[in-house]
Amino acid sequence: MRQVAREVDAADDLEQAGDRICAAAVELLGGHAEAGISYAQRGRGVENIGATSDSVRHGDALQVELGEGPCLDAAWNQEQVVASDLAHEQRWPRWGPTMVREYGITSMLCTQLFTTREQLGALNIYSTDRDAFDEEAQELARLLAVHAALTVAAAQQVQHLTIAIDRRTTIGKALGIIMVQHDLDDARAFAVLQRLSRHGNRKLYSIAEEVVRTRRLTGIDS
């Protein structure tokens, strides 16, 4: 687990970190296992931020399409969901038989990463063996889920910081264009952006982005 943590911390981005966590799950749990991490944000649907096979991606996508499955239950309702024999599983009458028939998946272990009003996630481990996940496997999955949740949180902080820096840079460029074209100092140029933002009921960044793209500013009264 220490090695897993070091490898995840060394990842360059969220997708690479997700892939490493999934690979670690397969290595640690064995049992003809495949793993994936499903992640959703409000209004953006569900995506995989790590997966070891196409069957994992298809299995996760099918749960969203059908509106049923262990990953959805783990993400929204339960800390961990175990299915030992999908061929005779009654909880997901459409999803379970499809996975057995099309992919030979007979066992599932899904562990919640986090659930908030805005986002949810689950570590999903598939196996072609029946009864593939004992109590030790379930505990290992919980530990891996902790690393996955921390990785997502850290990546989100970096992403938000990058977006903030990019937006400040864009606003700075827009101010420079306005200052040169309209012979204004920085304070008056910024006041122009603020006034247009209020009057047009638009975000200041949106107006700045338009100025940088078109190299002109409409509606200015200098």
Confidence of residue 2 (pLDDT cuts 50, 70, 90): low
Stretch 119-141: mean pLDDT = 89
- C-alpha to C-alpha distance for 28 and 137, rounded to whole angstroms: 8
Instruction: Classify residue 192 as exposed, middle or buried by CB count within 10 Å of its CB (0-12, 13-18, 19+).
Output: buried
Query: Could you tell me which residue, 156 or 90, shows the higher pLDDT?
Result: 90
Task: Give the model's pLDDT for residue 222.
Answer: 43
- C-alpha to C-alpha distance for 60 and 71, rounded to whole angstroms: 7
**Mean pLDDT, the chain, whole residue set:** 81
Stretch 192-212: mean pLDDT = 85
Task: Give the model's pLDDT for residue 204.
Answer: 82
**What percentage of the chain reaches a pLDDT higher than 90?**
25
Task: Give the model's pLDDT for residue 221.
Answer: 47
Q: Which 8-state DSSP code applies to residue 53?
A: S
Is the pLDDT score of 218 beyond 80? no
The string of pLDDT tens digits covering residues 4-29 is 555 555 555 667 777 888 888 888 88
Could you count the other beta carbons within 10 Å of the beta carbon of residue 198? Answer: 10
Which pTM does this prediction carry?
0.64
Task: Give the model's pLDDT for residue 104.
Answer: 94
Is the pLDDT score of 143 beyond 60? yes
The string of pLDDT tens digits covering residues 64-100 is 889 898 888 877 778 899 999 999 989 999 999 999 9
The string of pLDDT tens digits covering residues 25-51 is 888 887 689 999 887 765 556 778 888
Task: Give the model's pLDDT for residue 189.
Answer: 85
